[in-house]
């Protein structure tokens, strides 16, 4: 409405218009208050959302850090599992080597026992040969002693006979000379 239109109106109409405008203003004030409350509630919600968004970012960072830590721990776990498997393999290898070493030791012990037994047999054989040789040498010595003794006796007898013969001839020769 223009100023001219307002001048043509009566007082009742103007009052009615003013009342209508006042009601509209009151309604608008109520709407504004309502909207301000809604806006304050929304601002509060936005603040809460901002805080939640910050918490979400921190949680996401924490989750990323935890994932990285989880991967690191998983790698370490896999590494440890590998070490445990290798330890198991090493332990098995050590047991196998230990078994081989024990078998080699047993074989060496058997070999040494056999060498000692053979040495004992050879020593017994050598002692028997030595005893036989000693007996044989003694027999030879005894035979040589007997032979020498007999030869001595024969030589002694022969010398006695020769001496007796010489004496006889000397006695005859001196008897012939006389």
d(CA 178, CA 176): 5
pLDDT of residue 132: 87
Continuous H helices in the chain: 3-8, 11-177
pLDDT of residue 176: 66
pLDDT of residue 110: 92
* Rounded mean pLDDT for each run of 10 residues along the chain, 178 residues in total: 76 86 88 86 85 88 89 86 69 74 88 89 89 87 82 83 84 70
DSSP state for residue 132 in the 8-state scheme = H
pTM, two decimal places:
0.36
State how far the alpha carbon of 159 is from the alpha carbons of 31, 64, 162, 163, 165, in Å.
180, 134, 5, 6, 9
The domain segmentation of the chain, as residue ranges, is: 3-173
What burial letters (b/e) apply to 1-22, b meaning 16+ CB within 10 Å? eeeeeeeeeeeeeeeeeeeeee
pLDDT of residue 89: 66
Tokens of 111: 């070999």
pLDDT of residue 2: 79
pLDDT of residue 9: 78
């Amino acid at each position: 409405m223009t100023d001219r239109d307002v001048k043509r109106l009566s007082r009742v109409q103007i009052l009615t218009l003013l009342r209508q405008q006042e009601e509209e203003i009151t309604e608008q004030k109520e709407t504004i208050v309502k909207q301000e409350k809604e806006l304050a509630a929304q601002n509060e919600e936005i603040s809460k959302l901002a805080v939640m968004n910050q918490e979400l970012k921190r949680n996401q960072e924490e989750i990323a850090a935890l994932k990285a830590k989880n991967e690191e721990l998983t790698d370490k776990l896999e590494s440890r599992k590998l070490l445990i498997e290798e330890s198991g393999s090493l332990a098995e290898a050590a047991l196998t080597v230990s078994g081989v070493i024990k078998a080699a030791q047993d074989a060496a012990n058997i070999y040494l026992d056999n060498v000692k037994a053979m040495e004992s047999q050879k020593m017994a054989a050598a002692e028997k040969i030595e005893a036989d040789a000693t007996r044989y040498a003694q027999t030879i010595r005894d035979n040589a002693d007997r032979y020498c003794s007999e030869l001595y006796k024969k030589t002694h007898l022969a010398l006695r006979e020769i001496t007796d013969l010489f004496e006889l001839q000397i006695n005859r020769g001196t008897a012939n000379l006389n």
